[in-house]
Amino acid sequence: MKGTNIYPIFDKTVQRSERETLLRQKGCVVWFTGLSGSGKSTLAIALERALLEKGYLCQLLDGDNIRSGINNNLGFSEEDRKENIRRIAEVAKLFVQCGVITLTAFISPTNEIRALATKIIGRENFVEVFVDTPLDICELRDVKGLYKKARAGEIKEFTGISSPFEAPVDPDLTLDTSRLSVEESVELLMNTILPKIKIKS
């Protein structure tokens, strides 16, 4: 029909800056990486609570809500691990574009995998946190018995035992939860993250 346009020029997508102004925060991804049992999820949950108490909106992504949902068709082969991280990074990117502070807690064992996540999300939006807890401490915390099964050969390609973990080359923050309490770790996290998420007046 003449004069009809289903794509009117005034109908533009809401911009990220508008969403951030509404939320009064800047979106970013805090990417926790480290061995199973290192304390990634514990710190992410504690950080989420601390940020919420200061009025910041966050979304936590971890194995519980990713492997059971969007990535439930993936295994633990090298190819599937890479695809797992790629999907997580794409989801995190969407949250960032909405101005949401996104906390991810995944082993993400190689520099290649983490570089892929960084590229997708954008380095300017990416805070890499290496939870550098010694393997022996992680094994002592093995509440699910995963390390025991890996040592017995019942779990193949288990990071830290039969599959390597590559330490990040230049993380934004390194935390050893065998030396730091949750409270001390959260304080260091807040000092690192708050300058990145505050909207300047």
What are the catalytic residues?
108
Within 10 Å of residue 183's Cβ, how many Cβ atoms?
9
Rounded Cα–Cα distance for residues 134 and 144 (Å): 18
Q: Are 27 and 108 in contact (CB under 8 A)?
A: no
CA dist 3 and 126 (Å) reads: 45
Q: Name residues whose C-beta falls within 8 Å of residue 172's C-beta, 6 or more positions apart in sequence.
A: 127, 128, 129, 192
* Cα-Cα end-to-end distance for the chain: 48
**How far is 44 from 102, CA to CA, in rounded Å?**
10
Q: Is the dihedral of CA 45, 30, 65, 175 positive or negative?
A: negative
Output the CA–CA distances (angstroms, integers) from residue 199 to 54, 108, 124, in the order listed.
Answer: 13, 30, 15
Instruction: Identify any residues that bridge with 103 across adjacent strands, giving them in sequence order.
Output: 30, 60
